[in-house]
Amino acid sequence: MTGPTGGEAPRDPDAQQATENRTARNIGVGCFTTFIGLWSGAMVAVLIGKIVEGVRGAPTCEGLPMCNWYVYAVVGAVVGALSLPLLVLTRLRRRDAAREPTLRG
């Protein structure tokens, strides 16, 4: 009998249900953390940009934290949208592997 590491689906209905539940959980967590990472990364990057522009002595625009805030926001959003789901899903997979040592590959 070939298990999940052998390329075939598990034949045990409980194991197959657990795999489907983990897949659904990972999709939901991944989508949520991508959204949260996008916004939080952008906000943190704008804060860093404000500090960098302050140190550089760049001129400020009235009503905005800095004139080129969008550059920092886009870079931070991309970094946040990629890094937060990666970190969270890696941690979840590590926890799953520790709970079920027979599924390690």
Name the residue with higher pLDDT: 45 or 94.
Answer: 45
* Global confidence as pTM: 0.72
Q: Each residue of 4-15: pLDDT tens digit?
A: 555 555 566 666
Inter-axis angle of helices 13-56 and 69-99, nearest 10: 150
Handedness of CA 27, 94, 79, 56 (dihedral sign): positive
Q: Each residue of 25-61: pLDDT tens digit?
A: 889 999 999 999 999 999 999 999 999 999 998 888 8
Number of H helices, E strands in the chain: 2, 0
Residue 20, both tokens: 């489907």
| Distance spanning both ends of the chain, measured CA to CA | 15
